[in-house]
Amino acid sequence: MKTNNLIALIVQDVPVRSHLNHLLQQATIAAVLIAAIAFFSVIGFRTDIDTAIDTGRFLFKFVIAIALAVSGGLVMFRIGKPGLSLRLQTWGLLLPLILAVGAAAFEVSVMPSSTWAVRMIGHNSRLCLTIIPALSLGPLACFIVALRHGAPSKPVLAGAAAGLMSAGIAATFYAANCDDDSPLFVLLWYPVAISAVVATGAFLGHNLLRW
């Protein structure tokens, strides 16, 4: 049987799609629970959470992180099923970047230029580069296990999408601990940490999600 014919048969197999959807839904619940348990048992909220929650910059970090998790998840839920278009979901990946760049541009426009470098560098970059990848490990494992029951035609991209959603979940929790609220800090360090998770996911996808 030719590969194209095999893919066509898999695409038409609705029970397989439903099964994968169910597994990914379970993996998402498990991923959030694992990240939450790790966060609250080891890391916890920042000390000034009561006052920080009243500031727009603090809350906007969650908007960006959740947008990242959702956009990555939309790709991941479709990429395990060959034959489905990813064009709309791929464009959706730009949303968190647009939000982050927009917030940084606004801050640059209202704050003195002498403060830009300080705000961008922050003082918790090491924690950001450590905690986000660490909190992503459990969720990423959940998603890779679930995707192994699918048939991603692009295993590297499937793994990368799993990494992106995992990093989004991790970044959402880390945002509650990070006391660097500047969008400039978020725009610089969060993507670095997230990129490490995406690269790990791509590597795992290449090795574990191939047919």
- Per-residue model confidence as pLDDT tens digits over 14-47: 444 558 889 999 999 999 999 999 999 999 999 9
CB 149 within 8 A of CB 20: yes
Q: Where are the extended beta strands (E) located within the chain?
A: none
Q: Is residue 34 in some structural domain? A: yes
Number of structural domains in the chain: 1
Q: Is residue 124 in some structural domain? A: yes
Distance CA 78, CA 56 (A): 33
| pLDDT tens-digit readout, 121-173 | 998 899 999 999 999 999 999 999 999 988 787 899 999 999 999 999 999 99
Q: Is residue 143 in some structural domain? A: yes
